[in-house]
Structure 1
Amino acid sequence: MDTPDWNDLRYFLAVIKSGSLSAAARSLGVEHTTVSRRIEALEKVLGVRLFDRFARGWSLSTAGAALLPQARRVEEEIQGLLRLATGAADGFGSVRISAPPAIAAHWIAPRLAGLHAQLSGIQIELGAEPAYVDLSRREADIAIRFRRPLAPDLAVRVVATVKYYLCATPEYLASHNLDQWEFIGYDESLAETPQQEWLDAFAAGRPYVFYSNDLNSIAAAVRFGAGIAILPDYLATGLIIPDMISPVQRELWMVIHDDVRKSPRVRRTADLIAELFSSPAN
């Protein structure tokens, strides 16, 4: 029997994780025909049918289900090898940083130019991602998060405390009495964030005119006079409502996998990014 190609095994696991051929293709950034072809190649090498093909989609076969636990163990070993290789590499190469979209756009990206000389030989890849990436799968080298992870193999440190303010344009405040205020908030997917829970209590039944899962959209709606929102300090310049104190503050965490943290380039980048966050947000 020929030795299976690890990349083919990766496609097999992507279909399992994503739930469908098309979703796996999107997650891998390829066409669905590529996913199908790579799985067929793996089936040929293994001599088993991993999926039963139906008109409504693919279903894991009995043989595929039997091989799945071992395939996942192989994936863990490969990812561990790659993390250790990153840790053992020299100080040159790329470093991928994952951060919430608004943090990436308004706090990290504007300051990277000032770090260029200190990052000589290092290329930064900045992923603006609302969902948390999996550091154990090397989806990023450094992650910026609002929640502290609890996994024991992750190194964490607080890099900033983000303060939130009740915000509106001066024109909106001049044309609306307090009892006429209308609000802009996070949608249901973010309804349990501290800032949205506080805003709901403050609104006290007054109407919302706009919801979004995107902080940049919420901030834009405020700047164009759509209503009142609670915004982080790096988006609140010129919009803070006087004498309206919000108690909401959130710690921002830098997270790195222990294996990757051994890499000189990752350590150097992490230290510089931490310094970047120590400067006031604009």
Structure 2
Amino acid sequence: MDWDDLRIFLAVARDESLSAAGRRLGMDASTVGRRVARLESAIGSALFLKTPQGYALTEAGERLVAPAETAEQAAQAAAEATRREAGISGQLRIGAPDGCANYLLPQIASAMCAAHPGLEIQIVAQPRVANLSRREADMAISVSAPDTGRLVVQRLSEYRLHLAGQADYLAGHPPIRSLDDLKRHAMIGYIPDMIFDRELDYLSATGVASAVISSNSVSVQMQAIRAGAGLGIVHGFAMPFVPELRPVLGDQIALTRNFWLLRHADDRASRRLNLLAEELAGRIRQEIQRLEALLWQGA
């Protein structure tokens, strides 16, 4: 049995689509289909059932997943054994909520790639947690620690959020001395039914029931606040990138959250991923501390 065919099988099983698996593997969908058919012929059983929702595993396909993943881990271990001890190379895909993906990971990825010239980092900004079982990413950053799934969960760092407004907006609207004053101001926040984690429900801390402008994206919310559309809760580490913003009611609204690093349990034995996770965690902590310090230096 060809390992490369098993690799293609796993991609289809995880993506439930020939075209999506092809994009992951860098080949066209028809080639993926032919390789799956070749594997099915070699095994003597159908591995997938085509449905309106995509490609679903048959019973034979379900039985093949575990040995195929064992072969995948062995192939990864063999590849790691041939790499230079002095450096870390290859591709690393990180899934992250867009606040982290926009304001932390670009400079962290730049530093890591400079330190490891053979490293290629892909940042997937998502309004949800990346599905590691389907291998959407090698590791994921989350705002809460999941209690289900075959995952290795590591606390990364605490971070702070602040109510903020654009300087001109604040100068041109009624003064804000208490939470009650917020009722006279427009608020920016998340779309309520698109909050994928309870830790993102920031608006309740302000006592204001609804937002005038809402988005499932932290970056869109930030740009709306920057445009003077109203007040909103923003990451402290993001505020140095938008110097027009000013903290509001800092003594009355103080939110603290945590970032968590998630990895698939099967990757625990990967020396390469262990080293990358350790470096990523350290750099995230340092960058949050650096940016939050800059915020108060400029206050």
Structure 1 residue 246, shift from structure 2 partner: 2.3
Residue 5 of structure 2 corresponds to which residue in structure 1?
8
Superposed CA offset, 1:123-147 (max 9, x none): 2414233243455776555543322
TM-score normalised by length of structure 2: 0.71
Cα separation, 2, equivalents of 1:46 and 1:115: 43
SS at match of 1:127: strand
Query: How far apart, CA to CA, are the structure 2 residues paired with 1:271 and 1:91?
Result: 20
Q: Which moved more, 1:175-184 or 1:5-14?
A: 5-14
Say which SS state the counterpart of residue 237 (structure 2) adopts.
Answer: helix
User: Residues 137 and 83 (structure 1 numbering): CA distance in 2 closer, same or farther, change over 3 Å?
Assistant: farther
Number of matched residues? 272
Distance 1:236 1:137 in 2: 34
The answer to whether structure 1 residue 246 and structure 2 residue 253 are counterparts is yes
Map 1:1-282 → 2, pairs under 5 A: 3=1, 5-25=2-22, 30-51=27-48, 65-85=58-78, 88=81, 89=83, 90-92=85-87, 93-94=89-90, 96=92, 98=94, 99-113=96-110, 119-130=115-126, 131-133=128-130, 140-150=137-147, 156-177=153-174, 178-187=182-191, 188-190=193-195, 192-196=197-201, 198-200=202-204, 202-205=206-209, 207-237=210-240, 238=243, 239-244=245-250, 245-255=252-262, 257-261=267-271, 266=276, 269-270=279-280, 273-274=283-284, 276-277=286-287, 279-281=289-291
Q: CA deviation at 1:14?
A: 4.1
For structure 2, the 5+ residue unaligned runs are 175-181, 295-299
CA drift of 1:274 comes to 4.9
Structure 1 gap ranges (5+): none
CA RMSD of superposed structures (Å): 3.7
Corresponding residue SS for 1:250? strand
Q: Deviations over 1:221-253 (max 9, x none)?
A: 110112221111122344233324323211123
258 and 134 in structure 1: CA distance in 2 versus 1, 3 angstrom threshold: farther
Amino acid at match of 2:228: G
SS of 1:128's partner is strand
Q: Take 1:136 and 1:91, find their aligned partners in 2: how far apart are those partners?
A: 30
How many Å separate the matches in 1 of 2:273 and 2:137?
13
Alignment-mate amino acid for residue 71 of structure 1: L
Contact in 2 for aligned 1:154/1:258 (Cα 8 Å) = no
| CA distance in 1 between partners of 2:48 and 2:238 (Å) | 49
From the superposition, tell whether residues 246 and 107 of structure 1 become closer, same or farther in structure 2 (CA, over 3 Å). Answer: same
TM normalised by structure 1 equals 0.75
Shift of 1:52: 5.5
- Taking the aligned partners of 1:191 and 1:139, their CA distance within structure 2 comes to 17
Higher relative contact order, structure no. (Cα contacts within 8 Å, ≥ 6 residues apart): 1
The CA deviation at 1:261 is 4.2
Q: Quick one: percent identity of the two aligned structures?
A: 25
User: Using the alignment, how far apart are the partners of 2:280 and 2:39 within structure 1?
Assistant: 39
Give the Cα–Cα distance (whole angstroms) in 1 for the partners of residues 281 and 206 of structure 2: 38
Conserved 8 A contact 1:184-1:229: yes
Q: CA deviation at 1:150?
A: 5.0
Structure 1 residue aligned with 2:177: none
Structure 2 distance, partners of 1:148, 1:17, is: 23
SS state of the match for residue 34, structure 2?
A: helix
1:11 deviates by 3.9
Give, in whole Å, the separation in 2 of the partners of 1:23 and 1:124: 21
Counterpart of 1:221 in 2: which secondary structure?
Answer: helix
